[in-house]
Structure 1
Amino acid sequence: MTHHVNFKGEKAVPVEERQTILQASLAAGIPHYHACGGKGQCTTCRVLVLEGQEKLTPPTVLEQAIKKVKKFPDNVRLACQSRVNGEGVAVQRLIRDEIDRFIFVDDTEDSFTTVMGESRKLALFFIDIRDFTPFVERSLPFDVIHIMRRIFALFKNAITQYDGEIIDTAGDGLYAVFGLNSRIKQAANSAVLAGLKILSDLRIFNNTYMRPYFNHTFEVGIGVHVGKVVVGNVGIGLSHNLTVMGFPVNIAARLQAATKELNNSFVISAVAYRLLKNPPYSVGCNYLNLKGVSTPYEVRLIGKPYEIKDTPVLPETRQV
């Protein structure tokens, strides 16, 4: 009996009863990589199963061994070991040229999932230092870098203590995620605990170090949101930093930006707040008009007002 497999972006090919997906694709003229000759001894013929995973034969012993070592997710199969038992199968070749081959085979990336990307529910955490420009303007370059290192070490300590991962730094702020190793409720709680620890540690740092030695204090703005994002690794830097993208990331960044206008150091979306096991006291419930969001966004204020208020009090609904 003949079935068909749809290769995304390429074409649908017929697969005979005894043919593997690799044999069928090669017969149809698709330049399918198969470094070991289709013997299940490499991973270059792997495909991502988009539809009809249940219509494929179970993984062979050879495939199971490779999947265990490489930690492939269940929807990644070796085309040379997979046969088709019905219609409705759609796949995507993961290696289609020499650059793909480097990314998926020659690169030293430990986690295959981060290379190919996956959808995850995470807690998104943005923090930015307030009043840093005046300190930069009147301080020596060495002092600026020294203090930045001290503050960022403080941030990192709190974030890693609660199993967070720093994704990016920009200027005097950074972006982290929680939930790579936990469920979303725990992730939201961890993000809030990390934020509260930062606020507490920064207060101590101001009182014991910044004020007596530099006659200056710092405040921060923190924004937290939760949502489904894409997690992967674009692999363009020496550090091969993890990348997390999606609309919820934009929401979290805008909540952090709104802290100054709301005159509160910690703003969390109501969606994330409702996931908290022991939610901290919220001094208020506000609604923000966020760019790209059709209705006002509900947020909770769980930080403290800034010492210096340089913006007027805004009406309940604000544009961010």
Structure 2
Amino acid sequence: MIQSLRLYSGLTLFAYVFMHLINQAAGIISPEAMESIDKFTTKIWQFPPLEILLFTAAITHFLLATARLTSRRSLRLRKWEWAQMLLGLSIPFLLFRHIIATRIIDIGFDVDSAFERVLLDLAIFVPGQGILHAIAVIVVWTHGCIGIHFWLRLKPFYPKWRGLLGASAVLVPTMALAGYGAASAEIIRRTEEGGRKYIFGVLNAANVNDAAVKFYENALLPGTIIAIALALAPFVVRQIRQTIDRIKRGPMLSMPNGRIIRVSPGATALEALRDAGVQMASVCGGHGRCTTCRIHCGSGLDQLAAPGTIEAAALQSIQAPHGMRLACQIRPQNDLALAPLLPPNATAQDGRRPGGLSGSERQVVVIFTDLRDSTRLGEKKMPYDVLFILNQFFAEMTEALRETGGLYAQFTGDGLMALYGLDTNDTETMIRDALHGASGMLKRIENLNEHLKSELPHTLRIGIGIHMGEAIVGEMGPPGRENITAIGDTINITARLESQTKEHGVPLVISKAIFDHGPIPLPENAALHEVALRGKDQTVAYYALESMPELPERNT
């Protein structure tokens, strides 16, 4: 609830700022252009319900942001978190003069804040305030953009639109500052030409009176003191709290390497770990949305408070197993043994991966696909051409997986391994999806042969082996380059079955287990074969098929 309030209050303020900057951009044309579109950009926010909404959003957002800073037990933050925090705390200091001069005296003294009058103040009477106004544009916009970026980066669609949004984030304030500068230059020109007559004409038209000017001057000092106090208060309160916490003995966190870390009372596990210098992933900044700070809890787990609404929803979204919690959401009250589950450089995409895949044993359907006669391509084609053909091949195979819910788990030079069943425990569903994926591969290789007919020295053929069983599935690989894959006898058996496609001269070898457990009818006249496994006394039964059996429709 609190995070939602902070998000939506921030979005409300960002909408106002965006419209305000669009208004300023019109200054490239003239101050009158700024005035003419004002009723569509900033004046609509003076409609009482919207003005109340804006005022409430500003108060709410600032209070929640400062409360979060006050409650932090650790200030070991990432650079973007420091930037957003310091920019946000500086906003009241940069804007309070502008708010007094353009809204408070408007309401209290019936002054008209026409753009010509405001620009006269900023460009002629108080040029220093004009510079602060330009700085405020950059600060407020940057603060908002940082928040929106780290909110949207968790969304799957964001990478596609990131470039466009980034360009817009630069273009909008640039145009606004250009408009502000052009309009200010025009006001300076008019002042030089019209002199005192022009200045007093603008002031009289705006009803600027001595009482309003005196109020503004008297409000500057207390306004400055209040703005500075608001910026410093969270740090002062936090320091007082830390002093009190030092007197108390907090719980201890036990790391897998034997290190013991003390937790300040009320601190989250993420704050304690960062304060101790432990590098932890936290793409969303500790808001419980990205799950990259996921940890496995051992002894002491039963003494943790149950997950709150935010944490429970995040854990459910990744199908987290028992013992997995989010370091940013738990506040240990007792000693706790824990182990981080993702590397410090984990990305938002890593956070969307199912949590149960961190070294869990589960039933999966495995597909091995191999491109036949790939070495002949190198004999007939230039290296660049071979790479082009192979890239086309892998693009088509992975698209077949994507359409049917399969996971590209391993690259094998001229083939690949795919997994089905990572997001379901229903055997029939994973078998049906896997066979549809294999069917899609066969169709796509036919289309690829037609598409690359003029480029190929021979027709591309593939061999596909399909099997199911228990496998250890999880993130494996060198640090920073991990990917979800699987190991175990099931994987080895599938690879062995794929090699049998060469022995039988067929594109498909499907294990008997697939037909025993799945909803797929066995083709007529299908002969059962057996093959011995290397290094084992057992054999595996399978069917060698010329074409894909008849498949039922997938559930989408």
Give TM-score scaled by structure 2 length.
0.42
Supply the distance in 2 between the matched residues of 1:242 and 1:141 (Cα, whole angstroms). Answer: 30
Instruction: Determine which of 141, 148, 152 is the counterpart of 2:394.
Output: 152
Does the Cα contact within 8 Å between 1:114 and 1:242 map onto a contact in 2? Answer: no
Shift of 1:235: 5.6
Aligned to 1:113: 355
Aligned to 1:253: 495
Question: 1:237-316, aligned counterparts within 5 Å?
Answer: 240-279=482-521, 281=523, 283-304=526-547
Question: 1:225-244, aligned counterparts within 5 Å?
Answer: 225-234=467-476, 236=478, 240-244=482-486
Instruction: Determine which of 401, 409, 412 is the counterpart of 1:167.
Output: 409
Partner secondary structure for residue 94 of structure 1: strand
Question: 1:39-58, aligned counterparts within 5 Å?
Answer: 39=266, 41-43=268-270, 47-49=296-298, 56-57=302-303
Does the Cα contact within 8 Å between 2:252 and 2:260 map onto a contact in 1? Answer: no
- AA aligned opposite 2:305: T
Supply the distance in 1 between the matched residues of 2:261 and 2:355 (Cα, whole angstroms). Answer: 20
Instruction: Determine which of 106, 131, 136 is the counterpart of 2:378.
Output: 136
Higher helix share: 2
Structure 2, unmatched stretches of 5+, are 1-249, 274-294, 548-556
Does the Cα contact within 8 Å between 2:266 and 2:331 map onto a contact in 1? Answer: no
Aligned to 1:32: 260
Shift of 1:197: 2.2
Aligned to 2:339: 94
Aligned to 2:324: 76
Deviations 1:176-214 (A, max 9, x none): 1111122332111211121122223323433x2344543
Greater length-normalized contact order (CA 8 Å, ≥ 6 residues apart): 1
Does the Cα contact within 8 Å between 2:343 and 2:480 map onto a contact in 1? Answer: no
Instruction: Determine which of 287, 305, 309 is the counterpart of 1:60.
Output: 305
Aligned to 2:235: none
When the two structures are aligned, how many residues end up with a matched partner?
261
Supply the distance in 1 between the matched residues of 2:540 and 2:307 (Cα, whole angstroms). Answer: 51
Give TM-score scaled by structure 1 length.
0.69
Supply the distance in 2 between the matched residues of 1:112 and 1:276 (Cα, whole angstroms). Answer: 24
Does the Cα contact within 8 Å between 1:233 and 1:241 map onto a contact in 2? Answer: yes
Q: CA RMSD in A?
A: 3.4
Supply the distance in 2 between the matched residues of 1:177 and 1:198 (Cα, whole angstroms). Answer: 14
Partner secondary structure for residue 494 of structure 2: helix
Deviations 1:9-63 (A, max 9, x none): xxxxxxxxxxxxx95887xxx64345x436362257855449x98xx35x52566
Supply the distance in 2 between the matched residues of 1:82 and 1:226 (Cα, whole angstroms). Answer: 43
Supply the distance in 2 between the matched residues of 1:179 and 1:247 (Cα, whole angstroms). Answer: 17
- AA aligned opposite 2:427: I
- AA aligned opposite 2:465: G
Shift of 1:240: 3.6
Which structure has the bigger radius of gyration? 2
Structure 1, unmatched stretches of 5+, are 1-21, 84-90, 305-320
Change (3 A) 1:107 1:134: closer
Change (3 A) 1:274 1:49: farther
- AA aligned opposite 2:332: C
Change (3 A) 1:33 1:124: farther
Change (3 A) 1:81 1:232: farther
My pick for the range that moved more, 180-189 or 126-135, is: 180-189
Supply the distance in 1 between the matched residues of 2:535 and 2:423 (Cα, whole angstroms). Answer: 30
Does the Cα contact within 8 Å between 1:162 and 1:190 map onto a contact in 2? Answer: yes
Supply the distance in 2 between the matched residues of 1:115 and 1:37 (Cα, whole angstroms). Answer: 32
Identity %: 22
Does the Cα contact within 8 Å between 1:41 and 1:62 map onto a contact in 2? Answer: no
Deviations 1:260-294 (A, max 9, x none): 11322111111122222133526321011112442
